[in-house]
Structure 1
Amino acid sequence: MLLRRELGRTEASSGESVSEPAAHGSNVNGLDEDETLDMVIVGAGFAGIWLLNRLRQRGFKAKIVEAGSDLGGIWYWNRYPGARVDSQYPVYALSIPEVYDDWTWSSHYPDHNELREYFRFVDERLHIKKDCVFNAKVTDAIWDDAQCVWSIRCDSGQTFRTKFWTACTGFAAKRYFPDWPGYEDFKGTMFHSSFWPKEGVDVKGKRVAVIGTGATGVQITQEWCREIGDNGHLEMFQRTPNLACPMNQVYMTKEEQKKLSKGLPERFADRNKHYNGFLYQWRENLTYDHSPEEREEFYRMLWKLGGFRFLMNNYYDMTRNATANQEAYNFWRDRVRERVKDPRKGELLAPTERPHLFGGKRLSLEQDFYDQFNKPNVDVVDVRTNPIDRFVSDGIVRKDGTHHKLDMIALATGFDSITGGLKDMSVSGIDGEQMSEKWRLGTWTYLGISTARFPNFFFTYGPQAPTAFSNGPSCIEIQGDWIADVLSDMRDKKLRKIDADPQAEAEWKELVNDLIKDTPRGSVDSWYNGSKPREHLNYAGGIPRYKKTLEEVRANDYDGFHMS
C-alpha cells in the first residue's frame, strides 16, 4: 500500500482511511449561517486550545476548525514508531491550572500515545471540543475590507464569517515528498511518517528502509531496529548525519509528581526567562576559560544530564565561536564512536571531520540509536555521495546502480517547514492580494505574528517568531495572550481593523536576519531556513526578548500597526 503524494486528506491508495472519520465536534454548534464569529482558529493543537481558552475567558465567541478528527494538532497525526516529546518535563505542557493540577506524566519525555491521552484530559477539563469543527481543512480565507470580515471556507463545504482569524497550524503542517521517480512503482508498503496508520506496522522479519535522519528518522530507526528481529534487515538512508544527543529518559511515579506540582506555576513562569523557553540556557563562562581537563569534566556532566543540555546549556561561546564549537563536536564525536564498533558505520554516523557547525541543524535526542548499528542486520547507507536515483517494484536503486531490495519503506523526509502550512491555504487580503504571491520571493511578517495588507489575521508558531528555536508551548502562550489582548483592546476602543505597516515588516525582517547571522543556525543550510526561497525564518532573539517586544508594541498603542 503506497500513500498518495497529495498533501490534503490522508488517504491510502487502496482507499483505506489512515484516520477514521469522526463527527464534527460541534456541528457548528447551532451557529447560524449569517452569524459572525469574533475569531476562527485553524488548528486544534497546543496553540489553538490555548487561544480558544483565553478568548472564552474574555467573552469572545470563537471556534476551532481542525482538519483531523480529534484534538492534538501534530500529536493527532504523529503515530510513527518512537514518536515522543524532546522537551523535558515539565515545560512541554499548557500552563493552565485546571489541567496541570491533576494531570501526571509517566516520564520526562512522554510518547505520542500519552500526548493523545493528555489532550483527552485537556478536553475533560476545558470542554474544548464543544467549540470545534473537525474533519474540515481550511482551503480559502477571503477578506472583505468594507465589512471588516473574513470568510473562511473549508473542504467540507462549510463557510465561517469572522472578524478575526488565527492560523495555529504550526511549523510542520505540510508534508514534504522529494521528487524521486518511481514512487508508484514500488509494490511493497510505504508510509510518510505523518501518515502512519493507527494500527501500527509489523516489520518483524522484513527488509525495511528509513529514508531521512532528522529527529523523526532517528526515532523510527531506533524503534524498528528493536522490532525487526534477527531475521529482518534495516537500512537507514542518510544524507547528513544527525548529531543526536542522549535523552537519558527519566520515569516518574504519580507520587513523585504530586510533590512537584505545587512548584509548577513558578516553573511555567520561568520558561519565559530563558532563551529557548526551557528551564535552562547557556552558561556565562567561555570554552577556553577551562583547562582541557575541566572542559572534559564539564562536557561529561552535561552529557549525563541528557536532553538538549549539551546544546543549550553549554559554554556561552559554543554556538558563537567556530573553534569553541569544534571542541564540543570533538567530544560528541568521540562519545558516539565509543559506542559504534564498526569503523565504516562510525565514520558515517559521527564523521572525523565536523559535517557542519554543531547545533546548526536540529539535532535529535536518542536512547539507543547508535548502539543499534552494532547489529549485523542494521546498516547506514550513504546517499550524499551516492544518492537515490529511483524507486522500483521491489526497492530502491541508487545512482551507481546499487539495488536495495525492500519490503517496507518509511519516508522520514519531513515537511515544507515554517511557511508550508500557511501557503497551503489560499489567503486573499486587501484588493484580493494573495499571501502566497506576496511571499513567493520571501516571507514578510511583523512580529512573526501578522503580515501587512491582511488585516485581522494572525498566526502562531510560524515564520519570523521564535518557533523552531523554542519550546512550543512557551512560544504559543506568549503569542496567544498577545492576540487575546489585541481583541480586548480593540473591543474597548470600538475598533474594527488592525493591519501591519509594510515599513514595520521590513524592519522586522532586517532584525530577524541580523540576530541569526553570526550563529551556527544562520550559516548552515537546513529546514530552519525554509525551502523555496531559502531565507531565515526563525527569530533568534530568544523568548524573553520576544515577549518584551510584544509587550512594548502593545504599550505603545500598537506601534507598527494601523488601527481603525
Structure 2
Amino acid sequence: MARRDADFDALIVGAGFAGMYQLHALRDRLGLRAQVIEAGSGVGGTWYWNRYPGARCDTESHAYCYYFSDALLEEWEWSERYPAQPEILRYLNFAADRLDLRRDIRFDTRVTGARYDTEANLWHVETDTGETLSTTWLIAAVGCLSAANIPDIPGLERFEGAWYHTSDWPEGGVDFTGKRVGQIGTGSTGIQTAPAIAETAAHLTVFQRTANYSVPARNRPLDEDFTQAFRENIPHYRDLLRSTPNGHPFRLADRKVADVTEEERRKIYEEAWAKGGLQFRAVFKDLGVDREANATASDFIKAKIRETVTDPRKANILANIDHPYGAKRPPIDTHYFETFNRADVDLVDLRATPIVEITATGIRTTEATYDLDVIVFATGFDAITGPLLKLNITGAGGLTLAEAWQAGPRSFLGLQVPGFPNLFTITGPGSPSVLTNMPVAIEQHVEWIAGCIAWMRENAIAAMEADEDAAEAWGRHVNDAANATLLPTVPHSWYLGANIPGKPRVFIPYAGGLPRYRAICEDVAAQGYPGFRTKDTAGKTRATSNGLPPIRGFTAPLEAEPQAV
C-alpha cells in the first residue's frame, strides 16, 4: 500500500520510452502520485543524449513506437523506413505532449543515491539539486545503454584537441570541417557515425579493435500507400510484434540452411542483402543456434565486405571477423564499408598495433603516431547493469546494489532484486531487453509493473521483493536460454560485460524470446506472484523459498527460436 505521508507513491528514474509510459500507466490508469526524475533537459532518454552524426534506429520505424495507444499510432506519421535520431526525438516529444506528461517530470535533475528505509517502508531518493524525496515504489527506467564506456587510455587528459563520446554529444553538434578526426570503436554506433564524419572531415582515421559484420539498411522514404496500409492493419502489427522472439515485424523463415541447395542458399542471401535490414538474419531459423549453418551467413557477409572495399589491406582488416554472425549485436549500415574507399579515410587494426597512449596531438600505437584535432569515442556502454549501479542504490539492511551484484547481476525476471523491496527495474538484467526491439519489451514490463502495483494495493501488500531462491532459479534459466544459442560463444561480447574491465563475466539478458518471457510473467501474476516475498500492512510475510509452483515455459526445454538483436 502507498504511504500517504510519502512525497510520492512512485518515483520513476528516466524519461525515455520506459519512464514516459510508466508515468502514464501509474498516474493516468492507477491514479497514483507519480513523478519522473530526468537528468536531461527534455524527454527522450537514449534519443535525447545520442545526437551523434549518423544516429539512426536499426528497427523499422513502424515497429519502433508505442503500441498501447491506437491514437498515437494513427496520429503520427514516420518519414523513413529507419528513423534518424531527430525524428525519434520529435516522436517522443509528440507522445509526451499528447499524454500531458511534462507536468510530472523533473528535468535537469540527476539521482545521486537511493536508500530503502525498512521501518518506514519508504525509498529516500537523493538528487543533485540537494533534495531528498520519499516514495513507496521506486522504478528504474534508466535504459540499458546509457552509462558511457570511456576506455582508460593513458594520456587522454593531455590531449589538446577536442574529444567526445557518442552518447553525450553536444546539442549543437560538432563541426568537423577541415579537422583530422580519429574514431575509436566500430560497433553499431561507430558503423553509423564513420560515414557521416567522413562527409565533412579533412581526414578520418578509424581505430578498429574488433571487426564487425554489417548488412546494408537500404533506408528509404515511406510512401503514403505504406502508411495507409499500416494504419488499416494496426492489430496485425501489434500481434506480430508481441509474438516474435525479438519483437520485430517479421518472422524467422521456417527452414534450415541444410534444407536448401547451395545455389538456392546463395540466392536467398543475395535477395536478403538487396532488401537490407535486420531481416537478413531471419532467412534461416538455425543461424543463431548452429555454427555450421551460421558459417554460411558469416562467409557470405565477409565476401561482400571484400567485394565492396577496394583496398585489399583495409578489406582484410574489416573482414577479419572472429565471431559468428548475430552472436554480437548485428549492425545495419548506410555505406559503412564504402566509406573506406575514400582516400581521406584510413583504418588502423588495433589487434595488430594496439594504442599505447593519447598524446597532446593525437594517438600513438605500437607502430605509428596519428596527428588528430578531434577524437570520437564510439566505445559503447557499461550495458544494462551500469546505469542501475550509477544510481547508488542501498536496499534493506544497508546492502548496496553493487554488493548484491558483485559476482554478477541477480534478479527474478529482470524485474526485482532480492533485498530491495518495492524497487522495480524496467528491462533489467535477466530480461529480454537488448535482445529485442526495445519498445515492445518496455511496454510488457511497464504493464506488468503497473499490474503488480495494482495487485499490491488491492491486497494490502506493503512491500514486495524477489525471493533469493527464485532469483537463483531464474539465473539458471537465463544461462540455459543463452546456452541454447551461439550468443555466449563470443568472449569479448558486451552481452557478457566483457567490454568493461573488472565487470563479472555473466550473460546478462534473457535469450529465451519475448513470447516465452511474456508467458512466464503472465503466469507469475496469475498465480499471485510466486517467486516474490511480500509483507502486508499487518506485518505478515509470505515467502516462496521452498520452491516455485509450475510456471508456463519456465522449465520447458529451451529449443525454441533463437534470440538475437
Deviations 1:138-176 (A, max 9, x none): 111111222221111111112221111110011112111
Deviations 1:467-496 (A, max 9, x none): 110010010100100000011111111111
Deviations 1:364-420 (A, max 9, x none): 1111111111111111110111111101111000123x1001111111111111100
- The answer to whether 1:469 aligns with 2:439 is no
SS at match of 1:63: strand
- The answer to whether 1:245 aligns with 2:212 is no
Paired with 2:529 and 2:4, the residues of 1 have a C-alpha distance of 33
- The answer to whether 1:327 aligns with 2:299 is no
2:19 paired residue number: 48
1:281 paired residue number: 251
Paired with 1:50 and 1:223, the residues of 2 have a C-alpha distance of 32
Paired with 2:146 and 2:385, the residues of 1 have a C-alpha distance of 9
Residue 260 of structure 1, CA deviation: 2.2
| Corresponding residue to 1:117 among 82, 90, 110 | 90
Paired with 1:254 and 1:522, the residues of 2 have a C-alpha distance of 42
1:221 paired residue number: 194
Residue 255 of structure 1, CA deviation: 6.3
SS at match of 1:318: coil
1:70 paired residue number: 42
SS at match of 1:227: coil
Residue 89 of structure 1, CA deviation: 2.6
2:175 paired residue number: 202
| Corresponding residue to 1:392 among 359, 371, 383 | 359
After superposition, where does 1:108-257 map in structure 2 within 5 Å? 108-228=81-201, 232-253=202-223, 256-257=226-227
Counterpart residue identity of residue 66, structure 1? E
Contact 1:178–1:413 (CA under 8 A) maintained in structure 2: yes
Counterpart residue identity of residue 116, structure 2? W
2:519 paired residue number: 548
Contact 2:496–2:507 (CA under 8 A) maintained in structure 1: yes
Counterpart residue identity of residue 324, structure 1? A
Residue 256 of structure 1, CA deviation: 4.3
Contact 1:138–1:154 (CA under 8 A) maintained in structure 2: yes
Counterpart residue identity of residue 70, structure 1? G
Q: Percent identity?
A: 37
Contact 2:20–2:96 (CA under 8 A) maintained in structure 1: no
SS at match of 2:525: helix
Structure 1 range deviating more: 41-50 or 56-65: 56-65
- The answer to whether 1:430 aligns with 2:396 is yes
2:239 paired residue number: 269
| Corresponding residue to 2:416 among 450, 466, 477 | 450
Counterpart residue identity of residue 284, structure 1? D
SS at match of 1:190: strand
Counterpart residue identity of residue 535, structure 1? V
Deviations 1:43-94 (A, max 9, x none): 0000111111111212122101111111000111011000011101311101
Paired with 2:177 and 2:511, the residues of 1 have a C-alpha distance of 44
Deviations 1:107-149 (A, max 9, x none): 0111111112112211221011011011111111111222221
Contact 2:6–2:136 (CA under 8 A) maintained in structure 1: no
Residue 33 of structure 1, CA deviation: 12
Residue 323 of structure 1, CA deviation: 1.1
Paired with 1:204 and 1:144, the residues of 2 have a C-alpha distance of 54
| Corresponding residue to 1:302 among 272, 291, 308 | 272
Paired with 1:35 and 1:319, the residues of 2 have a C-alpha distance of 48
2:538 paired residue number: none
SS at match of 1:163: strand
Contact 1:247–1:367 (CA under 8 A) maintained in structure 2: yes
Contact 2:240–2:250 (CA under 8 A) maintained in structure 1: no
Paired with 1:280 and 1:51, the residues of 2 have a C-alpha distance of 27
1:36 paired residue number: 7
SS at match of 1:101: helix
Contact 1:358–1:520 (CA under 8 A) maintained in structure 2: no
Counterpart residue identity of residue 60, structure 2? Q
- The answer to whether 1:93 aligns with 2:65 is yes
- The answer to whether 1:359 aligns with 2:326 is yes
Contact 1:98–1:125 (CA under 8 A) maintained in structure 2: no
Paired with 2:111 and 2:534, the residues of 1 have a C-alpha distance of 27
Gaps in structure 1 of 5+ consecutive residues: 1-31
Paired with 1:397 and 1:127, the residues of 2 have a C-alpha distance of 52
Residue 34 of structure 1, CA deviation: 5.4
Q: Count matched residues.
A: 526
Paired with 1:427 and 1:38, the residues of 2 have a C-alpha distance of 18
Paired with 2:401 and 2:230, the residues of 1 have a C-alpha distance of 46
SS at match of 2:439: helix
1:9 paired residue number: none
Paired with 1:174 and 1:469, the residues of 2 have a C-alpha distance of 18
Contact 2:6–2:122 (CA under 8 A) maintained in structure 1: no
Deviations 1:201-226 (A, max 9, x none): 11122211110001111111011112
Counterpart residue identity of residue 302, structure 2? R
Paired with 2:290 and 2:92, the residues of 1 have a C-alpha distance of 41
| Corresponding residue to 1:535 among 506, 511, 535 | 506
Paired with 1:405 and 1:174, the residues of 2 have a C-alpha distance of 29
Paired with 2:54 and 2:380, the residues of 1 have a C-alpha distance of 15
TM score, norm. by length of structure 1: 0.91
- The CA RMSD over aligned residues, in Å, is 1.5
Counterpart residue identity of residue 403, structure 1? T
- CA 1:561–1:34 in structure 2 vs 1: closer, same or farther (change >3 Å)? closer
Paired with 1:429 and 1:501, the residues of 2 have a C-alpha distance of 14
| Corresponding residue to 2:485 among 496, 519, 524 | 519
- The answer to whether 1:493 aligns with 2:459 is yes
After superposition, where does 1:366-385 map in structure 2 within 5 Å? 366-385=333-352
Deviations 1:485-516 (A, max 9, x none): 01111111111111111000000000011111
Residue 35 of structure 1, CA deviation: 4.0
2:539 paired residue number: none
Paired with 2:16 and 2:224, the residues of 1 have a C-alpha distance of 25
Counterpart residue identity of residue 318, structure 1? L
Deviations 1:435-491 (A, max 9, x none): 111101211100011101101101112211101100100101001000000111111
Counterpart residue identity of residue 146, structure 1? E
Paired with 2:224 and 2:22, the residues of 1 have a C-alpha distance of 29
Paired with 1:380 and 1:45, the residues of 2 have a C-alpha distance of 35
Counterpart residue identity of residue 155, structure 1? D
TM score, norm. by length of structure 2: 0.91
- CA 1:318–1:256 in structure 2 vs 1: closer, same or farther (change >3 Å)? closer
Contact 2:70–2:234 (CA under 8 A) maintained in structure 1: no
2:305 paired residue number: 336
Paired with 1:504 and 1:256, the residues of 2 have a C-alpha distance of 46
Contact 1:105–1:254 (CA under 8 A) maintained in structure 2: no
